[in-house]
Structure 1
Amino acid sequence: MSLKDKEKWNQKYKGPEFLTGKEPCEWLSANADLLTGRGTALDIAMGEGRNAVFAAQQGYRVLGLDISEAGVQKARKLAEENGVRIQTAVVDLDNYLFQPQAYDLILCFNFLDRRLFPGMRGALKPGGLIVYETFNLDY
């Protein structure tokens, strides 16, 4: 991602309101029974952290990644408001190296970079779950 992307997302997330709300993605909450709550979760491009916080509430140890410092700060605040802990990191996903077989759950919502797919697959532990939702103009 570029510096321009970083600035764009910092600008979007800088206000006090949560751009996408504080509740998890509808699909994720409706299918919470698929989540074991055991192990480690990775939330890629987590934004303001609503899905990372939800995963932590389910029992996962969570690492949330985003390019925006403002988004990451709001994610930490949301976790604190909900009485859970999440680990966060400000990263440029163009340069991020996934840890092999490190995660039981990988979340990615509203972000599409197909170049990340092999790394995501390699970062998943055997029997793990990837939950991916993105916008598609064709459907």
Structure 2
Amino acid sequence: MPSWDDEFSKPGYRYGTEPNSFLVEMAGRLPKASRVIAAGDGEGRNGVWLAGQGHRVLALDASSVGLAKARALAEERGVPIETAVVDLSTYAPERAIADAVVLIYVHMPPAVRRAAHRNLASALKPGGLVILEAFHRDQLGRSSGGPKDPNMLFDLALLTEDFGPDIRAVHAFEGEVELDEGRGHVGMGAIVRFLGVKV
């Protein structure tokens, strides 16, 4: 299977340069100049958009190639963005430093996923938000994107267990949406959307 560095080395932006629509919808809940961790941000479409809204963004990804494109996109749009190459399975952020953690189509193996989700949530201040969109278990077999391993797909019950009692769901959705995100997510997709608040 090609690496993300290989994938992000291809011309253009795999998921486009416009932000995820659920993120745009939920970002109105963020205080001005929020500190946001955009985890698994790849080529930066979401982190750069958040920076353009005046937020202070740390974009994390395992791909240095993807983050180089994120910095280029930020420069093109005239916004500041901080990036760090990390492995989310072992990443340990400072606690209670962020107003939001954004996870847009960040799919990890189950052996590391729950710890990664809880580690990222530990970075939130009280009242901080988890904003997540990802592929649902029903996505398997569709051509609109996502992992081919069913163990890397989500449902709301799994997310609730992953984040644990410190994150209270305030918005949750499972269903179908029409995806139009670059060449990577195109067509009808089965997704899960989750907004949680740190209690």
TM-score (normalizing by structure 1): 0.89
Residue 96 of structure 1 aligns with which residue?
Answer: 91
Offset, 1:13: 0.3
Offset, 1:76: 0.2
Which structure dedicates a bigger proportion of its chain to strand? 2
Distance 2:4 2:44 in 1: 13
Residue 57 of structure 1 aligns with which residue?
Answer: 52
Tell me if the contact between 1:67 and 1:92 (Cα under 8 Å) persists in the aligned partners.
Answer: yes
Distance 2:26 2:129 in 1: 12
Give me the CA root mean square deviation.
Answer: 1.5
Which structure dedicates a bigger proportion of its chain to helix? 1
Residue 128 of structure 1 aligns with which residue?
Answer: 128
Distance 1:72 1:50 in 2: 10
Of residues 46-55 and 27-36 in structure 1, the stretch that sits farther from structure 2 once superposed is: 27-36
Over alpha carbons, which structure has the higher Rg? 2
CA-to-aligned-CA distance 1:45-70 (integer Å, 9 cap, x gap): 10100110111111111110101111
Residue 25 of structure 2 aligns with which residue?
Answer: 30
Tell me if the contact between 2:30 and 2:99 (Cα under 8 Å) persists in the aligned partners.
Answer: no
User: What secondary structure does 2:135 align onto?
Assistant: coil
Name which structure has the greater RCO, CA cutoff 8 Å, separation 6+: 1
Distance 2:74 2:40 in 1: 16
Distance 2:119 2:95 in 1: 8
Unaligned runs of 5+ in 1: none
Tell me if the contact between 1:35 and 1:58 (Cα under 8 Å) persists in the aligned partners.
Answer: no
Identical columns (%): 40
Tell me if the contact between 1:37 and 1:55 (Cα under 8 Å) persists in the aligned partners.
Answer: no
